C-alpha cells in the first residue's frame, strides 16, 4: 500500500474521512452522520461527544473495511465548520450542547453589543456582531444559563476543540 494522508471533514451534519495519496487519488472513504438538535426555533445544537465518536468510528472503519494500514498514514489534514461554541469544565467535561454557527438565539445579545459599542466594535473586529459568533453566544449563556458560566473553565470553537482531541 502507498502512503496516504487522512482528510477529515467535520461538517454540520456528518464527518467524512478520506485516504488520499500524494497525487490526489482518493483510495478509501468512510463517513458517519450525527444529529442536529433544534429544541426551539432558532436553536442549533450538537453533542460534541457525537463528533468525537463519529470521527473515531469513521477512521477505524476506514482502516478495517478499506484495509488501510495505520503505518501507511503519513499525516492528517483536518477541516470543519467553525463557530460551534464548546464549553468545558475544569475536568474538560462538556457543560452543555454546543451552539452551532447557524444558531440564532443570540440576536438580542448582538443588538446589545451594537447599542453599547456601535461602530467601535466594527472598528476593532472588522465585523458586526453576528449570532453565529462566540461573544454573543457567551453572553446568551451568561444571561440564560448562569450556572454553566460559573463552572466554565475553557471555551473553544468546534473546529479547534476537535483538532486538539
What distance in Å separates the CA atoms of residue 4 and residue 21, rounded to the nearest whole number? 4
For residue 157, name the pLDDT band (cuts at 50, 70, 90): confident
Kindly report the pTM of this predicted structure. 0.86
pLDDT for 1-58, tens place per residue? 689 999 999 999 999 999 999 999 999 999 999 999 999 999 999 999 999 999 999 9
The length of the chain in residues reads: 165
Domains and CATH numbers, the chain: 1-80 (3.30.420.40), 82-165 (no CATH)
Does residue 131 contact residue 84 with C-beta atoms inside 8 Å?
A: no
DSSP string across 95-106: -SPEEPTT--TT
Dig out the grid coordinates for 105 from the structure.
438565539
Dig out the grid coordinates for 163 from the structure.
483538532
Amino acid at each position: 500500500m502507498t502512503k496516504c494522508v487522512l482528510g477529515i471533514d467535520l461538517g454540520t451534519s456528518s464527518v467524512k474521512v478520506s485516504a488520499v495519496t500524494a497525487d490526489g487519488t482518493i483510495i478509501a472513504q468512510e463517513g458517519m452522520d450525527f444529529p442536529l438538535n433544534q429544541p426551539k426555533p432558532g436553536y442549533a445544537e450538537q453533542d460534541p461527544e457525537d463528533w468525537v465518536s463519529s470521527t473515531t468510528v469513521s477512521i477505524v472503519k476506514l482502516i478495517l473495511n478499506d484495509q488501510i494500514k495505520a503505518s501507511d498514514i503519513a499525516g492528517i489534514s483536518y477541516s470543519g465548520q467553525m463557530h460551534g461554541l464548546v464549553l468545558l469544565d475544569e475536568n474538560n467535561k462538556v457543560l452543555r450542547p454546543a451552539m452551532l454557527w447557524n444558531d440564532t438565539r443570540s440576536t438580542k445579545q448582538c443588538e446589545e453589543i451594537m447599542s453599547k459599542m456601535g461602530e467601535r466594535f466594527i472598528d476593532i473586529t472588522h465585523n458586526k456582531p453576528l449570532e453565529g459568533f462566540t461573544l454573543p453566544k457567551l453572553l446568551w449563556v451568561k444571561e440564560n444559563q448562569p450556572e454553566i458560566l460559573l463552572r466554565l473553565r475553557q471555551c473553544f470553537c468546534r473546529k479547534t476543540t476537535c483538532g486538539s482531541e
